[in-house]
């Protein structure tokens, strides 16, 4: 038996294996894990904190016919879609088959992209809760609603080179914002007018939550007037690759600009100079915009090559960002647009007669384009103030 005054290390030597494991768990549990444990037990669960060797979840909770893997995230920023994606991947593994579902508890809340993705993908094996004021709030989406602001946010998608996916990125970024609850104006500044060909006058993304959905309106530069679209607080411009052909009044309004490139040897060698010219062109007219270099058509099954090429690109942009603090290289581990057949064949409705739509259809387990663009919205919201531009009158 342990003796009074023994040190913790000495106490472990005399405990049985089961006692030792239980005491180590209690010792290492965080305050929030202990609070979550208490609240789950108050809801009638038999719950215990797991060993920290199990990094995928923190608490195991069970009732008759129900066994839940619980992850507790105590962080200042809202839990974003990338973190949720990792937990969903765990729940799909063979060693998680004994769990009926997962529960993700956050002390700070969740980004709108998390709610949008779980709704759109009809995810049923993961529930969300916010831990606040010693309560577990299960129906927490209303709690996470963002305040609106009057200022319209302008985002340009631009590069001094065609064929890098500007139009695809512009349209689907608009769609991701719409899934987050924003009405979006998609302005076609490219002389080819591909957005109008692909989406017509625009698309409506209905909500399956009982509320009105959101609209993506496709306009040309002469049709856009903020006074006509007072409820539209996000404007995304598909820019002309010839910089001088873009109306300077739009360039000067950009709060953020996305510059797509590819993570391959030819892309790195060719596009580095293109991106430098693009940055210089934008900065001649706009010194305030945050500029984001985004990897498009990422081959996600080439980890080793991607890691090497990613380091090369990061090194190239490090020197540039040292002279321009508003230049950001988006590490593809945080957000990138993966190569997919859905995006490759987007626009096929022009040939098969179907109505215009975005490439957000679920194929297999998830819709990867939808996940990637929602993660990109998350990234922009975390790095900037885009999240404050919530469309008027639309609740998440």
pLDDT digits (tens, 9 = 90+) for 21-64: 444 444 467 899 999 999 999 999 999 998 766 678 999 999 99
Looking at 81-95, 108-122, 206-220, which range is the least confident one? Answer: 206-220
Q: Compute φ and ψ for 283, nearest 5 degrees.
A: -65, -20
Number of Cβ within a 10 Å radius of residue 22: 15
- Per domain, the residue ranges of the chain are 8-144, 153-388
Higher-confidence residue of 390 and 395: namely 390
CATH of 8-144, one of 3.40.30.10, 3.30.70.60, 3.40.1350.10, 3.90.1150.10: 3.40.1350.10
Closest CA to 87 of 74, 96, 78: 96
Distance CA 381, CA 77 (A): 11
The sheet with strand 135-137 has its strands ordered as 46-49, 59-63, 66-73, 101-106, 126-132, 135-137
* pLDDT over 90 percentage in the chain: 57
When pLDDT is cut at 50, 70 and 90, the band that residue 300 belongs to is confident
Mean pLDDT to the nearest integer, 179-187: 93
Number of Cβ within a 10 Å radius of residue 383: 15
Looking at 97-101, 103-107, 240-244, 364-368, which range is the least confident one? Answer: 364-368
When pLDDT is cut at 50, 70 and 90, the band that residue 299 belongs to is very high
Q: Report the helix count and the strand count for the chain, using DSSP H and E.
A: 13, 14
The predicted structure's pLDDT at residue 108: 93
pLDDT at 233 over 60: yes
Mean pLDDT to the nearest integer, 345-363: 89
> Which residues touch 15 (CB under 8 Å, ≥6 apart)?
2, 23
End-to-end, the C-alpha distance of the chain in Å comes to 56
Tens digit of pLDDT for each residue in 56-98? 899 999 999 999 999 999 999 999 999 999 999 999 999 899 9
Mean pLDDT to the nearest integer, 118-145: 91
Q: Are 281 and 243 in contact (CB under 8 A)?
A: yes
Higher-confidence residue of 208 and 51: namely 51
- What is the CATH class of 153-388? alpha beta
Mean pLDDT to the nearest integer, 143-147: 70
E strand or H helix that includes residue 185: strand 184-188
pLDDT at 256 over 90: yes
pLDDT at 186 over 70: yes
């Amino acid at each position: 038996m342990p003796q009074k005054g023994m040190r913790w290390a000495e106490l472990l030597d005399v405990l049985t294996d089961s006692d030792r494991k239980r005491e180590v768990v209690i010792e290492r549990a965080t305050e929030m894990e202990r609070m979550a444990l208490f609240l789950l037990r108050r809801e009638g669960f038999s719950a215990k904190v797991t060993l920290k060797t199990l990094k995928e979840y923190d608490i195991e909770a069970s009732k008759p016919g129900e066994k839940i893997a619980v992850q507790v995230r105590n962080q200042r920023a809202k839990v974003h879609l990338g973190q949720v994606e990792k937990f969903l991947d765990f729940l799909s593994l063979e060693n998680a088959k004994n769990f009926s579902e997962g529960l993700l508890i956050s002390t700070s809340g969740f980004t709108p992209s998390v709610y949008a993705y779980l709704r759109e993908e009809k995810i049923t094996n993961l529930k969300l809760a916010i831990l606040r004021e010693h309560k577990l709030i299960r129906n927490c989406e209303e709690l996470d609603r963002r305040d609106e602001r009057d200022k319209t946010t302008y985002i340009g998608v631009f590069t001094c080179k065609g064929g890098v996916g500007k139009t695809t990125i512009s349209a689907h970024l608009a769609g991701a914002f719409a899934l987050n609850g924003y009405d979006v104006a998609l302005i076609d500044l490219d002389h080819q007018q591909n957005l109008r060909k692909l989406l017509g006058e625009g698309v409506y993304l209905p909500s399956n939550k009982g509320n009105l959905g959101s609209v993506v309106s496709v306009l040309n530069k002469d049709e856009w007037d903020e006074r006509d679209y007072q409820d539209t607080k996000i404007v995304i411009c598909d820019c002309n690759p010839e910089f001088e052909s873009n109306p300077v009044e739009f360039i000067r309004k950009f709060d953020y600009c996305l510059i797509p490139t590819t993570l391959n040897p030819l892309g790195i060698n060719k596009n580095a100079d293109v991106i430098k010219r693009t940055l210089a062109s934008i900065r001649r007219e706009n010194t305030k915009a945050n500029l984001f270099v985004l990897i498009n058509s990422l081959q996600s099954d080439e980890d080793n090559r991607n890691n090497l090429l990613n380091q090369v690109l990061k090194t190239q942009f490090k020197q540039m960002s040292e002279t321009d603090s508003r230049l950001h290289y988006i590490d593809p581990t945080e957000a990138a647009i993966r190569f997919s057949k859905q995006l490759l064949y987007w626009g096929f409705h022009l040939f098969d007669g179907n109505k215009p739509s975005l490439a957000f259809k679920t194929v297999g387990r998830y819709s990867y384009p939808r996940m990637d663009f929602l993660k990109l919205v998350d990234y922009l919201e975390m790095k900037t103030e885009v999240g404050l531009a919530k469309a008027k009158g639309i609740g998440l």
